[in-house]
Amino acid sequence: MILSILLMGGLYYWFPSLEDEAGNLLISNKEILVMCLIGGSVLLTFISILNFKKRQLQFVLNRLAIILNFVLLGVFVYRSLSLPGETLVSEKGIGVLLPIISIVFLVMANKAIKRDEDLVKSVDRLR
């Protein structure tokens, strides 16, 4: 989960502003939608880390962060598909792929949380 926070924070600071040939800004980290989605994902993941004793809440918060990352990825894909011409499409960089990597880390964290929850339930049955 910490890696996911670092990736999304890095996405916000190093996200390249994408401009078309006329100089119009297409995607920027200063947009309210992109800023809210990245900030929401970072905030939910951070709250999830702090709730380490409440595994079910942690699992739900991670799922919400995954949904926010999918929405952010959808915004990036929509904006990149609306680009005119071919010159800028290849210059998007890794900024578009960081939500995918963050989703993978959050899914791995959810699997570990689920495994911990199953272990606790199995120990409770033995008592």
Asked if residue 111 is part of any domain, the answer here is yes
Q: Tell me the C-alpha distance between 20 and 6, whole Å.
A: 29
Domain contains 37: yes
Q: Inform me whether the pLDDT recorded for 89 exceeds 50.
A: no
> What per-residue confidence (pLDDT) applies to 43?
93
**Per-residue pLDDT tens digits for 20-66:** 566 666 667 777 888 898 889 999 999 999 998 899 999 999 999 99
Write out the residue range of the structural domain in which residue 84 sits: 2-9+27-119
Cα separation, 122 vs 124, in Å, equals 5
Provide the domain count of the chain.
Answer: 1
The tokens for 78 are: 């929509």
pTM exceeds 0.85: no
In a domain, 17, yes or no: no
Residue 90 lies inside a defined structural domain of this protein: yes
Answer whether residue 85 is part of any domain.
Answer: yes
d(CA 114, CA 92): 36
Q: Do the domain assignments include residue 21?
A: no
Residue 88: inside a domain = yes
DSSP 60: H
Residue 82 domain-assigned?
Answer: yes
Model confidence band, residue 85 (pLDDT cutoffs 50, 70, 90): low
How far apart are the C-alpha atoms of 107 and 60, rounded to whole Å? 12
Greater model confidence, 118 or 82: 118
Q: DSSP state, 5?
A: H
Distance CA(60)–CA(54), nearest Å, equals 10
